Amino acid sequence: MTLNILFAARPDSWAEYQGPLTRALSDTGHTFDLRTDFAPEDVDYIVYAPNGPPRDFSPFTRLRAVLSLWAGVETVVGNSTLTVPLTRMVDFGLRQGMTEWVTGHVLRHHLGMDAHINGVPGLWHQNPPPLSRDRRVTILGLGQLGVACGNMLDALGFPVAGWSRSPKQVPGITTHHGPDGLETALARSDILVLLLPNTPSTENTLNTRTLSLLPRGAVVINPGRGTLIDDDALLAALDSGQVGHATLDVFRVEPLPDGHPYWTHPSVTVTPHIASETRPDSSSDVIAENIRRCESGEPLLHLVDRSKGY
């Protein structure tokens, strides 16, 4: 039987994905037809980017699974018309990209690169950075990406702590969980990295109260989701010096609207949601493996837990 696989992501990404997906699907041994359009009732699998159509899955009467190309699935996880399994993207490319981006921005702030690179002629103000062992980094979210970033920062010598919903043991990372654990984790965060998903329970994780628990002058780095931060509270904390700098890759509204105070705040760095992109080669392997598993009745990888929302 031919498997009909609908590629439902940005039309301009089809050219990038068609080759890698075809290669990876060919390795499954199944006969398939991979296209950007089908009659809904003929579709077996949807390779999905959650910012695009379809929004109503009910016409897809023989659908077996929806396979997201994104790690964050907040825009589709609560869709009541989606009754088949939903998987999210976990792969080498996303992990490696996020590890490189987070490590780069942690090192920028740790080393004080801005001050030292943009030197003023004649000003010879020597303020060497401490060693990494004297800079505490905390990662909120100890999932696929948080642990990968934590491992790299630990290897560089930073004392790394992390926070998650459930208890965890991760070599090289001091772990905390639950509401009390958050307070302990924040209190030792010279640099704080947010890698939580967008769910009702993570909204405004950083707010006036929790920002006040950070050591004065702490740096906040957010490649997770914009909803994790109460923006007004962060701006107030930046103005007061409670937060020394914020590097933000994600926002409640994207693109970040013209005129938003983040664009011009002297202590904010804005990057345009580029921390880690899904790469066609490595993600195609994960999609094909899940289709192979589904066809052989094996458990799917990286299933989204609808009750938790991630």
Q: Which is nearer to ligand NAP, 91 or 190 (CB)?
A: 91
Q: Which is nearer to ligand NAP, 4 or 103 (CB)?
A: 103
Q: Helices 280-295 and 14-26 sit at what angle, rounded to 10 degrees?
A: 40
| φ, ψ (nearest 5 deg) of residue 6 | -95, 125
Residue 172: CB minimum distance to ligand NAP, A? 16
Q: Which is nearer to ligand NAP, 199 or 242 (CB)?
A: 199
State the residues that interact with ligand NAP by CB under 6 A. 71-72, 90, 94, 98, 141-146, 163-166, 195-199, 201-202, 223-225, 249-250, 273, 275-276, 310
Q: Which is nearer to ligand NAP, 4 or 290 (CB)?
A: 290
Q: State which amino acid sits at residue 272.
A: P
The partner residues of 164 in beta bridges, in order of sequence, read: 177
Q: State which amino acid sits at residue 164.
A: S
Residue 279: CB minimum distance to ligand NAP, A? 11
Residue 266: CB minimum distance to ligand NAP, A? 23
The partner residues of 138 in beta bridges, in order of sequence, read: 161, 192
Residue 3: CB minimum distance to ligand NAP, A? 27
Both tokens of residue 124?
């010879």
Residue 157: CB minimum distance to ligand NAP, A? 23
Q: State which amino acid sits at residue 120.
A: V
Q: Which residues are catalytic?
A: 225, 273
Q: Which is nearer to ligand NAP, 17 or 32 (CB)?
A: 17
Residue 260: CB minimum distance to ligand NAP, A? 17
Beta strands at 218-222 and 32-35: parallel, antiparallel or unpaired: unpaired
Q: Which is nearer to ligand NAP, 265 or 273 (CB)?
A: 273
User: Which single residue brings its beta carbon nearest to ligand NAP?
Assistant: 143
Q: What is the spatial distance between Cα 240 and Cα 164, in angstroms, rounded to a whole number?
A: 29
Determine contact, residues 165/199, Cβ cutoff 8 Å: no
